[in-house]
Homo-oligomer: A and B are copies of this chain.
Amino acid sequence: MSNRERILQTARRLAIEAGSVPSLGAVATASGVSKGGLMHHFRSRAALLDGIAAQAIEAMDEALAAAVERGNVTETWLRLSMSREDADLYRALLVSFTDSGSTTEALLRRSAEATQRWERLIADEVGDPVAAAAIRLLGDGIVMNSVTGDRLPPLESVLEWLKPRTGRN
């Protein structure tokens, strides 16, 4: 693995654990490179955040594309927000937003595009734009709460609750 990838991966892990992206020095140390080494690959903090977000968006695109094949976009979306194993990606993405000051204009734009893309996938499945928006927002709320550490209802019960509102019937 290249150092760049290693840095990205380490930064993401730290961001998920701490709820925010730590200082570049801390990221560099944890990645096994020097501060200068890190800043060769990412010339600013904003660039690092951008990298984290881009990686997360790409991975989520893949996961949701696979879900479209399987026909379980809604479940996958909630799982990406909720599951202890799968929620890391989306959480990393949201964390890169809460980093005050260093959110790029380009990052905001690309994330907004991704959000629309994902909401459209959900809408294609459930056949109702309002339902799709609500499901997407529900996922955001779940991620938000996983940061603060509150308890959440099990995924199955949420899916059960959604059912009467997500059929095309």
A137 to B136, CA, bound (A): 11
Minimum CB–CB distance from A41 to chain B (whole Å) comes to 23
Residue on B with the closest CB to A136?
B141
Can you spell out 29 A-B residue pairs with CB atoms less than 8 angstroms apart? A19-B98, A19-B100, A20-B98, A20-B100, A97-B148, A108-B148, A111-B148, A112-B148, A112-B150, A115-B150, A128-B161, A130-B157, A130-B161, A133-B158, A134-B158, A136-B141, A137-B141, A137-B142, A137-B145, A138-B138, A140-B140, A140-B144, A140-B145, A141-B142, A141-B144, A144-B144, A161-B165, A164-B164, A164-B165
The size of the chain A interface, using a CB distance under 8 A, is 41
Q: Does A1 sit within 8 A of B, measured CB to CB?
A: no
Chain A residues within 8 Å of B, Cβ to Cβ: 18-20, 94, 97-98, 100-101, 108, 111-112, 115, 128-131, 133-134, 136-145, 147-150, 152-153, 157-158, 160-162, 164-165
